[in-house]
Amino acid sequence: MSEGQSRQELVAGVIDIVVRLARDRHIDIAAAELDEQTNVRDYDLDSMDQVIIVNEVEDRWGVTVDDDVARGGETIGALVDAIETALAAK
């Protein structure tokens, strides 16, 4: 993934990860239902799922997300903020 991605593209990428993880856990989520304000815990994704989401985010964008940000990253927007911060630090 490119560092020059727009915020919208980053949001779409995180949504893709969340939807894929949910489907792997037999949780029915449509990407159209999600946006930056979506709290992933509202979809029965627990803290362990959040760790998996953060790991996938780090792998996909080749960044390391700050642990404090990751712990507070229950919303898609917070995860995108963390990606943007990490990409800017590269």
Distance CA 65, CA 33 (A): 25
| Amino acid found at 63 | V
Distance CA 82, CA 33 (A): 22
Total number of residues shown for the chain = 90
What does each of the 90 residues of the chain score in pLDDT, given as a tens digit? 455 789 999 999 999 999 999 899 898 888 999 999 988 878 887 778 888 888 898 999 999 987 776 666 678 998 898 899 889 988
Instruction: Please name which of 55, 79, 58 lies closest in space to residue 69, comparing C-alpha atoms.
Output: 79
Please, what are the domains in the chain? Answer: 7-89 (1.10.1200.10)
Packing angle of the helix pair 7-24, 76-89 (nearest 10 deg)? 120
- pLDDT tens, position by position, 52-62: 888 898 999 99
The encoded tokens of residue 90 equal 């590269």
pLDDT of residue 51: 82
DSSP single-letter state for residue 75: B
Rounded percentage of the chain residues whose pLDDT exceeds 90: 30
pTM of the full structure = 0.86
